[in-house]
Structure 1
């Protein structure tokens, strides 16, 4: 009986977390799609790459360092130059200095801009949604299994 209860609780938690992740992914994707639909386009140039290094300690006690490279993009609107740092970093760098990239910006506030590529725009909702797609059915299976064990 205790195993059934444990499966039910763990399954419920997994399922709930999965559903929350799916909702968050949908909200991020809708927000991003809304921004891109109303945004103006410009050609930008990668002006530089900013390195951000994080240090973590693993369960084995070893320190691990991870460096991600974030492109800084410059673009011009109505003769005025704008620059922004992408919120998406990668290792190895996804862009090179001097590379031309498409930019989407808010026409009312050109300083609110993003790289207008599929991966830059939708990587976060894909990762969060992917986790939700994994967690939700695992939670549902554990929950149903727990309920069946409890009935027996």
Structure 2
């Protein structure tokens, strides 16, 4: 009568782990960067003051891979203690999406009002949203491949 017992698949040697370890380590770096940017953003949002700002123009900056000009929107708002602040968004584009005098909501640090962000998911969470998929991709796939290659499979012994 055949016996069924568990036999582990061929184990990976130290060299066999390298192709998995390299992307996994890259993933861990992305994961740490994601956690840091998430934490910084969360701290900013929790402590930020929300107010309305007015679009007052754009600052043209040269940059990009093709040396083009990017328009960075400039806004003005008044802090709770009455100071008038002008800030330029770090996000620029070749097209200006705002009309003169257009109102937008902004978040700003009451201790440092020059640290302000347009209150939108894209502006506030952009760094975290860009890093997270790479962190997940480079950690989950190598970990899954490692686990799946280590799994035990039943083997039928005909003796």
- Give the alignment's TM-score, normalised by structure 2: 0.70
SS at match of 2:25: helix
Count of matched residue positions in the alignment of Structure 1 and Structure 2: 138
Residue matched to 2:101: 98
Q: Distance in 2 between matches of 1:127 and 1:103?
A: 21
Change (3 A) 1:7 1:120: farther
Change (3 A) 1:106 1:93: same
Residue matched to 1:111: 114
Residue matched to 1:60: none
Bigger Rg, structure 1 or 2: 2
Q: Distance in 2 between matches of 1:134 and 1:27?
A: 18
Residue 48 of structure 1, CA deviation = 1.9
Residue matched to 2:37: 28
SS at match of 1:98: coil
Residue matched to 2:155: none
2:134 is matched with which residue: 119, 131, 136?
Answer: 131
Q: Identify unmatched segments of 5+ residues in structure 2.
A: 1-12, 152-159
Q: Distance in 2 between matches of 1:45 and 1:98?
A: 5
Residue matched to 2:157: none
**Structure with greater proportional helix content:** 1
